[in-house]
Amino acid sequence: MPTVKPDGTPFDIVKSEDDWKAVLSPTEYHVLREAGTERAFTGEYTDTKTAGTYTCRACDAVLFTSDTKFDSHCGWPSFWSPLAGESVILLEDRTMGMKRVEVRCASCGSHLGHVFEGEGYGTPTDQRYCINSVSIKLAPAE
């Protein structure tokens, strides 16, 4: 797992892999730190409609809001945009024999999922941030 962003600056939160293993469950560690994927339709937030803010499960950085969450029926929580600013970084991903765009937390570098464009969902950005539930936590609105 990289300790610096693509521009060479360090992530705000850097821990050893042993430290990450001490604070994350084995499944969380696999997805967040080893770029794994949870099985489709098994995640805690796939069908959640609760208003609130979604944060990185590894470092609590604010990433998405329920205002941009939509029903894509793809098996994972989907958002049409991260929060404004630098909350996520996008990296080219050529694993699994295809070209995709990986989404990582800009604060700690943890893997969140992938972003896809041009799928016809009719969202304002024509993007689908396909995010693993195990990578995020929902803080319900008050």
Query: What percent of the chain stands above pLDDT 90?
Result: 80
- The amino acid sitting at 139 is A
Active-site residue, 108 included: no
Catalytic residue among 56, 59, 108, 130: 130
On whether the pTM is more than 0.75, the answer is: yes
Question: 86 Cβ partners below 8 Å, 6+ apart?
Answer: 106
Consecutive 10-residue runs of the chain (142 residues): their mean pLDDT? 80 93 97 95 95 97 96 95 88 79 95 94 94 97 87
Tallying the residues shown for the chain, one arrives at 142
The predicted pLDDT at position 71 comes to: 94
The predicted pLDDT at position 56 comes to: 97
Burial of 100 (0-12, 13-18, 19+ CB in 10 A): middle
- Rounded Cα–Cα distance for residues 76 and 38 (Å): 9
User: Selecting from 2.170.150.20, 2.60.15.10, 1.10.1420.10, 3.40.190.10, what CATH number does the domain 17-140 have?
Assistant: 2.170.150.20
